[in-house]
Amino acid sequence: MKIDGLSGPTRFAAFVGGLAVVFAAALGVGNAVGPVADEPAGHDEMTDDMTGDMADGHSDEGGHGGHAESAAQLPGGLMVSQDGYTLELAEDALRPGRGVPLSFTVTGPDGHPVTEYDVEHEKRLHLIAVRRDFSGFQHVHPELGPDGAWTTDLDLTPGEWRVFADFKPTDGEALTLGTDLTVAGDYRPAAPVGEVRTAHVDGYTVTLEGTLTPGADSTLTLSVSRDGRPVTDLEPYLGAAGHLVALREGDLAYLHVHPEEEDQLVFAAAVPSPGGYRLFLDFKHDGVVRTAAFALVTDGTEVGHDDH
């Protein structure tokens, strides 16, 4: 690689930076159909090191999907470390099954586990787990031990998973950190979908209206019905009528989506780039929290439709 017009030290620094960008673009997102290794082969550790570098401003790549964004503009969940805080799983490879224990810590700038968190949306920490093909989505609220270790149970199937911790340390800024989790076994990827605006879950039908415009606030409105009749008595969940999570296809960037009204399923979403996004709505009715999944593409993106 030749870089003209630069002094020796400057040329060397630019050369190293260029290699880092090329290397980041070459990383894969996950495995194809086939067995997942019982032990991770270094991919997660390498990715976490790179995302940690992005937190320090050493790279301009926006994760696995190749979205070019500066470190200051990166969405949440792409980095395992940010502002001195690091998400650390006790084990980054687990067995498949229901109710599999997961333990992790968030270490602070002093290198010790954080034990003081502010309550955000009625919880001190929100944990999101999803397989990289967007199946198996779970939104749980782990228990915090006196030593700073968080624990919870997850239902896991074989494949590569992404785990997000959404929290606000006391006297710190709100953060979303992400890291990879390997689950051993015969990996069967979910079939690709087009745009999905209607979801059916446990006898409920949930529909989504609205469009996503990159770089602008977009209003998304959801409605819930059962047996052909609108459900008008949803119970509050996490301080609102529902909770919506958006993930970008490709790199699984975690996007904050905020309710515009506490008693309505109307949300404001701001997506940073063109392409596809997966959305997961948690809503509560008759004392049970259910999740409806959707897929949207930004304005002007051509895609087939596949309502579930």
pLDDT digits (tens, 9 = 90+) for 101-151: 999 999 999 999 999 999 999 999 999 999 999 999 999 999 999 999 999
Lowest mean pLDDT segment, chosen from 17-21, 187-191, 255-259: 17-21
The answer to whether residues 203 and 276 belong to one domain is yes
The answer to whether residues 112 and 144 belong to one domain is yes
CA-to-CA distance for 56 and 40, rounded, in angstroms?
Answer: 26
Residue 97 forms part of a structural domain: yes
Residue 114 forms part of a structural domain: yes
Categorize the per-residue pLDDT at 256 as very low, low, confident or very high, splitting at 50, 70 and 90: confident
Residue 1 forms part of a structural domain: no
Residue 225 forms part of a structural domain: yes
Average pLDDT, the chain: 81
pLDDT digits (tens, 9 = 90+) for 169-206: 999 999 999 999 999 999 999 998 989 999 999 999 99
The answer to whether residues 183 and 202 belong to one domain is no
In this prediction, residues 3-13 reach a mean pLDDT of 40
Which pair of structure tokens corresponds to residue 81?
């470390």
- Domain boundary among the residues 187, 210, 234 is at 187
pLDDT digits (tens, 9 = 90+) for 53-94: 433 333 333 333 345 555 457 889 999 999 999 999 999 999
Residue pair 285/202 in contact (Cβ under 8 Å)? The answer is: no
The pLDDT value given to residue 261: 85
Residue 292 forms part of a structural domain: yes
CA atoms within 13 A on the CB side of 104: 28
**Structural domain for 226, as ranges:** 198-297
State percent of the chain over pLDDT 90.
66
Element (H, E) at 17: helix 8-26
The answer to whether residues 110 and 254 belong to one domain is no
First to last CA, the chain: 49
Dihedral sign for Cα atoms in the order 22, 162, 81, 246? positive
Which CATH number covers residue 208?
A: 2.60.40.1080
- How many domains is the chain built from? 2
Which CATH number covers residue 164?
A: 2.60.40.1930
Q: What pTM was computed for the model?
A: 0.77
Which pair of structure tokens corresponds to residue 209?
């209206």
197-201: list long-range contacts, CB under 8 Å, 24+ apart. 197/294, 197/296, 197/307, 198/307, 198/308, 199/281, 199/292, 199/293, 199/294, 199/308, 200/308, 201/290, 201/291, 201/292
Q: Which residue, among 131, 188, 178, 132, has the nearest Cα to 155 in the 3D structure?
A: 131
State yes or no: pLDDT of 16 exceeds 80. Answer: no
